[in-house]
Chains A and B, each alone.
Chain A
């Protein structure tokens, strides 16, 4: 019966949409390209310590006194704090080193996989389980070097 098929399909969509995997916020691959790594050294101009993602805006020198602005996305405040990256660790005017991946749409947006904080500490900036490069699931995401 047509109606039954339709119901079954609607329920399948419901089930997929509510599966535990989908309850996490957007995954790495939705926005970023794992084949386009990038490293930035820049001065922090703006910080958004917000859910569901944090953002650090950097001015990166491009030579001859010129700079370009980049937006760098990291995990949510809770995920970062659990790895020892706290709200006060980065302030406007600090120099931040970011290693990550470029956005698929070609904009100056980077997913932070690792950051060297102003104090010299290296931390993983992803959300555990987001499926991005070097995602080690629920493990503590602190980088090894």
Chain B
């Protein structure tokens, strides 16, 4: 397929950049970036888990959802930035192999799904949820989004590990 040949060519090119080569052949830098990536995931997925559990009513039922979300979302984005930057660096180092890795491809699909879930929640559910008396259907939608988010994040982490085993 033409598309896959183009993707493959791009990946080979990324892997051959000085940055990719430097990281791939480094004595310590690669493992530092790997560790940073895990810390970024912990920061993001950990905080998102707390947010999702609040939306599901499992955690902090006494605290208004708005307060919980407002204080945690901002920090979760810092974790996400850490995860994204270190993830891009790891991709540069291993692009040649990753573009043929099924676990990696599926992980990217789940990340896009997470982004869509988050975006739809932010636009259609969040404004109503923080209002004084959200309707039952709105609360149900928030819970559905939270449950989906939990499952997708678990999938992202599991697939991230699976990259080394397929």
Contacts and interface: CB of A to CB of B under 8 A. Distances in A.
Q: Do A and B come from one complex?
A: yes
B26 to A, nearest CB: 7
Contacts of B16: none
A13 B154 contact: yes
Contacts of B49: 11, 14
Interface stretch (B27-35, B74-82, B118-126, B129-137): B27-35
A76 to B, nearest CB: 7
Interface string B85-127: 0000000011000000000000000000000000000000000
B27 A10 contact: no
A7 interface: yes
Contacts of B27: 77-78, 81
Interface string A1-34: 0011011001101100110001101100010000
Interface residues of B, number: 32
A78 to B, nearest CB: 4
A50 interface: yes
Contact of A26 (B25, B94, B165): B165
| Chain B interface helix/strand/loop/mixed | helix
A18 B154 CA distance: 10
Contacts of B164: 25-26, 30, 52
Interface in A45-80: 49-52, 76-78
Contacts of B25: 49-51, 77, 87
Contact of B157 (A14, A76, A77, A87): A14
A10 B151 contact: yes
Contact of B28 (A17, A22, A23, A78): A78
B24 A51 contact: yes
Interface in A122-136: none
Contact of A3 (B42, B45, B147): B147
Interface in A101-139: none
Nearest to A87: B25
Nearest to B30: A51
A4 B161 CA distance: 25
B56 A3 contact: yes
27 contacts: A3-B56, A3-B147, A6-B150, A6-B151, A7-B58, A10-B150, A10-B151, A10-B154, A11-B150, A11-B154, A14-B153, A17-B161, A18-B41, A18-B157, A22-B161, A23-B34, A23-B35, A25-B164, A30-B165, A51-B24, A51-B25, A51-B26, A51-B31, A76-B30, A77-B26, A78-B30, A87-B25
Given A4-B58, A22-B161, A78-B27, 15 more contacts: A3-B143, A7-B58, A10-B151, A11-B49, A13-B154, A14-B49, A14-B153, A17-B157, A30-B164, A30-B165, A50-B25, A52-B34, A52-B164, A77-B25, A81-B27
Interface of A: 3-4, 6-7, 10-11, 13-14, 17-18, 22-23, 25-26, 30, 49-52, 76-78, 81, 87
